[in-house]
Amino acid sequence: MATLNTPLISLPRNPNSQDPNPTSITVNNDRYFANHPILSAIEQCSDTKQLKQVHAQMLRIGLFFDPYSASKLITASSLSPFSSLDYAQQVFDQIPHPNLYTWNTLIRAYASSLDPNQSFLVFLKMLHRCPEFPNKFTFPFVIKAASELLASRVGRVCHGMGGCPEEALELFRGMEAENMKPNDVTMVGVLSACAKKLDLEFGRWVHSYIERNKISLGLTLSNAMLDMYTKCGSVEDAKRLFDEMPEKDIVSWTTMLAGYAKLGEYDAARRVFDAMPRQDIAAWNALISAYEQSGKPKEALAIFHELQLSQLAKPDEVTLVSTLSACSQLGAMDLGGWIHVYMKKQGMKLNFHLTTSLIDMYSKCGNLEKALEVFFSVQRKDVFVWSAMIAGLAMHGRGREAIDLFLKMQEAKVKPNAVTFTNLLCACSHTGLVEEGRLFFNQMKPVYGIVPVVKHYACMVDILGRAGLLEEAVELIEKMPIAPSASVWGALLGACRIHGNVDLAEHACSRLLELEPRNHGAYVLLSNIYAKSGKWERVSGLRKLMRDSGVKKEPGGSSIEANGIVHEFLVGDNSHPLSKKIYSKLDEITTSLKSVGYVPDKSHLLQLVEEDDVKEQALYLHSEKLAIAFGLLSMAHSQPIRIVKNLRVCGDCHSFAKLISRLYDREILLRDRYRFHHFRGGQCTCMDYW
């Protein structure tokens, strides 16, 4: 055994000598000592006595505290012809902090023993004591023989846990450790959990596991696997499986359809839709929701209309949730309201999803009172319902009420989540509630157990920055435990615009552009700041920079719903059939506004427009002005003018709208990228704080 005396040069410190706490030097690199000569000596042992000698040697020179080496010892003591599980357990118990590899080895040892159920106990201990999560090596070791009875029980539990994929997967792992052979029903639950966790690697492993264990791949299990592949982002794997399936049903087709649609491959999705033997409502819903969720609300509504015309299927709750969401995005309140009436006529009961969508739709379409009506009309409310209502109040600048609602939510014992806090902080920001914002932000972790993520920091920077507390905002950014995102710098930049801080703006802008070089919003904001302080040469420098780097300003657009039809206007748009009338109406408005002292604020107009175009300023009329003029032309006086804009409203359009609301005695509801502006009698609900 001369090799046993080989000095252990490669060990950084001797763990077995003076160190009172040998655990501290456990090497985490499993293969660090893979070539140590002692390890081959282990393999040469032919009885327990020899093995014990090697063990002693390993302890003496410290090699034992290397997890990989210790595992070799466990393997030898448990799996060799002279195996002794008791001894293997002893060896294991000497390891101060066994790592995943070591645990796996012991589980494997028990799984191969006469009493495989023991491996389940070891597995439970591992879940309790091992800081690492079980991995794919944990399972193959422990699956030997099992009881079908228990397997199906666990299968059901897995299914019951469809809200908690994590636990379902853990159960599967636990089940394997208990030596229960999973059947196809179990695997459906496991795949469904994979799909929810978006774990492709594990999903692929489960696939091969199913094949290796000859679990019957029936229609349902195949469908579950299709779903796993599409959800985990591999539509290729799904397609391959789909083509191989001897039997397909409507679920298989819909799964493929949804897979393509979610990837934005709408043509492929449509081909699947048209090719399937029959389109039930789920298939329609898959198309509608894919469009709605990828910011294509018009396309979503077009499909909804097609569905109604075809009468091939009846809209259900899911259809209406997606369609309402499309209405929210567009500000299409007539259609949204129609859906609400339709639901009542159908006798549909409001579930949480529908309630949330209705509140969101009414809020985003500008009818906050109606949103509140829905909110108070339902008895039971979940965190989505509460959060949507808080968001609604927030975007309408009713921060105090949002906070009140947040407090009521706790009386109702509904636990707020991260989104609730985003909405709440948003409410504080729009209403300038600095103290409250600070308080809630600081309470998140200690009181509610919610760790602030970057979005919450962005809100907080926004709250502080808007209020002019730029130093405190910068301090917060510097102290952030996570890397500030573009939105954090964006919030700071926005604050610099309000408070005219050019130096800080330049800093924030450059940090933002480091993260998102093509963020045109950053250029526009900085340009606004330069323009406001009269630094025109810097404005043109910025313009050149944008041109050279090929960054284009996102064109502003506004939409307005009149008599059930959504009309869209782009900046300088003259494509509307009533364009001529709209422009002459605008002339008329401008003249009358000027007579009461309106002075167009050109700094917003000039900002990033090419020199030559500036001469044709009329071509660059902001879209909200066109939409307002159209609203005045085509809507009854009693009707408020509701406009949705894709960008933030500029100062000039803001004062323009205020004046119109007084001069023409019209209510104007303008939703911009960040919030609502509710103009009435020459005032705006944002109190000019936006």
Minimum CB distance to DNA smaller for 203 or for 572: 203
Least separation in angstroms between CB 5 and DNA: 57
Q: How many residues does the chain have?
A: 690
Phi, then psi, of 678 in degrees rounded to 5: -115, 100
Cβ atoms of residues 313 and 306 within 8 Å = no
| Closest distance to DNA from the beta carbon of 583 (Å) | 31
Q: Which is nearer to DNA, 490 or 640 (CB)?
A: 490
- Give the nearer residue to DNA in terms of CB position, either 102 or 558: 558
Of 89 and 420, the one with the shorter C-beta distance to DNA is 420
Closest CA to 620 of 606, 632, 631: 606
Cα distance between residue 61 and residue 265, in whole Å: 61
Q: What is the phi-psi region of residue 597: left when phi exceeds 0, alpha when psi lies from -120 to 50, beta otherwise?
A: left
DSSP class of residue 209? H
CB 673 within 8 A of CB 384: no
Interatomic CA distance for residues 25 and 375, integer angstroms: 58
CA-based end-to-end distance of the chain: 80
Minimum CB separation of residue 312 from DNA in Å reads: 13
Q: What is the CA radius of gyration of the chain?
A: 32
Please, what is the minimum distance in Å from the beta carbon of residue 602 to DNA?
24
CB 191 within 8 Å of CB 221: yes
* Residue placing its CB nearer to DNA in the complex, 127 or 250: 250
Minimum distance of DNA from residue 232's CB (angstroms): 12
Query: Residue 113 or residue 294: which is nearer to DNA going by CB?
Result: 294
CB of 254 to DNA, least distance (A): 3
Provide, rounded to whole angstroms, the least separation between the CB of residue 658 and DNA.
Answer: 21
β-bridge partners, 676: 671
By CB atoms closer than 10 A (0-12, 13-18, 19+), residue 549 is exposed
Which position has the token pair 């526009």? 524
- 450 in Cβ contact with 418 (< 8 Å): yes
For DNA, give the closer residue by CB, 127 or 418: 418
Contact 557, 646 (CB under 8 A): yes
Q: Which is nearer to DNA, 188 or 660 (CB)?
A: 188
- Smallest gap, in angstroms, from Cβ of residue 687 to DNA? 16
Cβ 396 to DNA, closest distance in Å? 12
Our CB check for DNA shows the closer of 121 and 245 to be: 245
- Residue 10 CA to residue 296 CA, distance in Å, equals 60
Sign for the CA dihedral angle at 368, 374, 377, 378 comes to negative
